Amino acid sequence: MDDIKIGEILLPGDEETQERQESNVRAKFWPTMKKAIRQVPFSRDVIAAFYCATDRQTPLRVRGILLAALGYFVLPLDTIPDMFALVGFTDDIAVLTSAIALINGHIKDRHYHAADAMLSDEGLPADARAQG
C-alpha cells in the first residue's frame, strides 16, 4: 500500500467499478462512521460526501471519486489500521480530505441538510444505532 498514492486511490473507475464500490460503501459506511465519528474532525463533510456519492444527480466522475475515497474509508485493512486509537483514521482522513477538495462545489446544500439530520439522534439510521 505504501507505493499507492492518494491520486491513484481516487481514480473514479468505470460504471461497473462504481456500482460495486457503491454497494460496498452503502453496506459498510454507517458502521464505520459510527466508530470514526469522534476521530474524524469533519464528520459532517464525510456524511455529506456519502449523500453526494449516492445521489444519481451527481456527475458520474464526481461520484466515482467520492465512492473511491469512501471505499477506502470503509476498507477494514488500510495503511494504518483503524483499530489504533487517534491515528487509525489519519490515512482515511487524508484520502477523504483530498477527495472533498477535488470535487469542491459538488456537495450541495441538500447533502449537508441530510448530513445534519443524520447527525441528530433522531436521524441516525437504525443500522448505525444498532452498531457499536
Summarize pLDDT for 31-46 with one digit per residue, the tens.
Answer: 989 888 877 788 999 9
Integer-rounded Cα radius of gyration of the chain? 14
pLDDT of residue 90: 75
C-alpha cell at 41: 474532525
d(CA 116, CA 120): 7
Model pLDDT, residue 101:
92
Instruction: Give how far the C-alpha of residue 33 lies from the chain's centroid of Cα atoms, to the nearest Å.
Output: 8
Q: What integer pLDDT is reported at residue 8 of this predicted model? A: 61
Single-letter residue type at 19: E
> Which of 29, 33, 45, 44 is CA-nearest to residue 104?
45
CA 16 to CA 103: how far, in whole Å? 21
pLDDT of residue 53: 96
The list of the chain residues with pLDDT below 70 reads 1-12, 76-89, 121-132
Residues 6+ apart with CB under 8 A from 112: 44, 48
Give yes or no for a contact between 86 and 39, defined as CB atoms under 8 angstroms apart: yes
- The pLDDT of residue 103 is 92
Q: What is the pLDDT of residue 16?
A: 86
pLDDT at 121: 63
C-alpha torsion angle, residues 78, 84, 85, 90 (rounded to 10): -30
**pLDDT score, position 37:** 83
Q: What is the pLDDT of residue 132?
A: 36
> For position 131, what pLDDT does the model report?
39
